[in-house]
Structure 1
């Protein structure tokens, strides 16, 4: 079959699938494709924010794409293998809602043994540099707030506090502390950080559990420490290189919010208050969904800029964002290679 005929056949198949999905139901051709795909599982699910971060993986020599592509509910699932391990690639789009929806669709439709999320991020940690790839042990959603009315302070209870409602346990941000004119008061007052409500699949429905710091899978995290010796890309071209060679490093915490953080004061607050390194817009959506579904996950985020600016190099996110995206892919692919050896070791142990 010629490439043109094959491409036409694929486009026709995708069109048929889209027509069947007009009401969002899983049936007909789509259901058959999903059922057939699951016979070749379980898969590693790779969730990627956008095409800019996906393209380096699509062109990576260790990614072997399959002819199978399934489009469902506005989301495309690409099938292939990395180091002989079956994978499904899905682009989520920007923000926590999109990343959570993509993750839930992936886990609901397919047999998934683990989830890997990767991409670029801003940096809140002054000890790290552009190009470094961070592997955070914990993730949080840091934009669920209780915004306290003006006149009330840390000693005043929050609405519904003590009744399973809001809490002062996590901490707060006082806007007045960042006034440029020296006035410690501000009409915006304080915002108190709040945990997410989660409903784990193995718990009683409608019984709330609260989670602020979501841990990545402990086995994945331990295995990923071997990546700290991995050599990363340092130069965009022959004349444009990073001043400090990038590295892979495990860190304690990362955070997500539907906010593009480009403010040095808030960056410093997050690092000093919570010891946060990568800051971005999707990982917590993936983390919370996997946590709720009890599916192992890990996130690799390459630092593209010092959020809010710093040195001249730290403001050159546009210059080095392609390099950092490539580095996040290098780490992801190498982790999958390590994971293959880990799985075989565990299989031999079970036997």
Structure 2
């Protein structure tokens, strides 16, 4: 009985130790061993179907001695891509997962820059499925102030005039999307978009700064200009796109915890924010890199029209694999152009 009690106490202590999220001494040894070979370029990817084409590429070579490091439910894959040292981590879906994985990446490892890639919906009618977009700015468009029915734009502007700068960004007025007439009030009223609060490293603790449009690294964005002639895939089996996909640097991309498959909202994001790719992770990666002053860029291949197409179903079911492959093609070429 005493042995059983001792075992149960030891088990509880081990579980509680793991639940604390503490980095063990053995983990630190492995992290230090990895960092001695750094610095690395961090590669952040949302899901397995986007990551697998990269891992299966002949350009990627896992580290023969320490190919991966597991921590907090994430696997950090160590190796070389185009002879550049890289650490690859899969985030999982959503802003929370993307931010958490990126936070671990830039705090645990010696990372000199972060490249995020994956697929996205398309809000830009000038581009097509299969094109690969590289925005200059990213915003989180899921932090809202949802007005009560009866309040109008003048109430928000008054708050802004009094110094409430969290409400200064444009609004989505639901009555504009009424089926019959815009003049009839809508009980949903309107949503005001708010900037994120960031706590930059090495600043005064708890001193918040607002951030909405987060820029990518200028050097990375200039390198991306050299990718416009990269050859991309244009067919899935016997189904081919109207033209060969291209790589395009665009002004803005947006992210939120919303899978956008709605024509009206797609058009709103395009007209209001001049957004092209719409996804669920990139802005979170951008915000973490902003706080840690880490160079960042995102590469997003367009897999669907975010509800804007003529098809009754979302196009990603057909073109996600093609878009994933195109994103990987562009990523590999981008890494090859980085200075070691």
Give ranges in structure 1 of 5+ residues lacking alignment: 1-17, 345-351
1:6-155 paired onto structure 2 within 5 Å: 21=18, 23-67=20-64, 68=66, 69-155=68-154
CA–CA distance in 1 between the matches of 2:49 and 2:292? 28
- CA separation of 1:162/1:105 partners in 2, compared to 1, >3 Å: closer, same or farther? farther
> In structure 2, what is the equivalent of residue 254 of structure 1?
253
The alpha carbon displacement at 1:165 in A equals: 3.8
The alpha carbon displacement at 1:74 in A equals: 1.1
The alpha carbon displacement at 1:162 in A equals: 5.4
Contact 2:141 2:256 in 1 (8 A): yes
CA–CA distance in 1 between the matches of 2:276 and 2:168? 21
3-state secondary structure, aligned to 2:235? coil
The alpha carbon displacement at 1:28 in A equals: 2.6
Q: For 1:316-349, what per-residue CA distance to the aligned partner results, in whole angstroms no more than 9, with x for missing partners?
A: 321111010000000000000011xxx26xxxxx
Contact 1:305 1:314 in 2 (8 A): no
Residues 1:335 and 2:324 aligned together? no
* CA root-mean-square deviation: 1.9
> In structure 2, what is the equivalent of residue 348 of structure 1?
none
The alpha carbon displacement at 1:131 in A equals: 0.2
Contact 1:21 1:73 in 2 (8 A): no
Matched residue count: 323
Contact 2:116 2:299 in 1 (8 A): yes
TM (normalized to structure 2)?
0.91
- CA separation of 1:19/1:148 partners in 2, compared to 1, >3 Å: closer, same or farther? closer
3-state secondary structure, aligned to 2:156? coil
The alpha carbon displacement at 1:215 in A equals: 0.2
CA–CA distance in 1 between the matches of 2:203 and 2:163? 18
1:168-207 paired onto structure 2 within 5 Å: 168-184=167-183, 185-207=185-207
The alpha carbon displacement at 1:309 in A equals: 3.3
Contact 1:21 1:72 in 2 (8 A): no
- CA separation of 1:65/1:207 partners in 2, compared to 1, >3 Å: closer, same or farther? same
Query: Which shows bigger deviation, 71-80 or 151-160?
Result: 151-160
CA–CA distance in 1 between the matches of 2:319 and 2:216? 27
The alpha carbon displacement at 1:65 in A equals: 1.1
- CA separation of 1:42/1:19 partners in 2, compared to 1, >3 Å: closer, same or farther? farther
Q: For 1:79-122, what per-residue CA distance to the aligned partner results, in whole angstroms no more than 9, with x for missing partners?
A: 01011111001000100010000000001100000000000000
3-state secondary structure, aligned to 2:136? strand
Q: For 1:7-58, what per-residue CA distance to the aligned partner results, in whole angstroms no more than 9, with x for missing partners?
A: xxxxxxxxxxx99845421123211110100000000000100101000000
Give ranges in structure 2 of 5+ residues lacking alignment: 1-14
3-state secondary structure, aligned to 1:155? helix
Contact 1:173 1:191 in 2 (8 A): yes
> In structure 1, what is the equivalent of residue 298 of structure 2?
299
Contact 2:134 2:299 in 1 (8 A): yes
Contact 2:123 2:278 in 1 (8 A): yes
Contact 2:159 2:167 in 1 (8 A): no
CA–CA distance in 1 between the matches of 2:103 and 2:24? 18
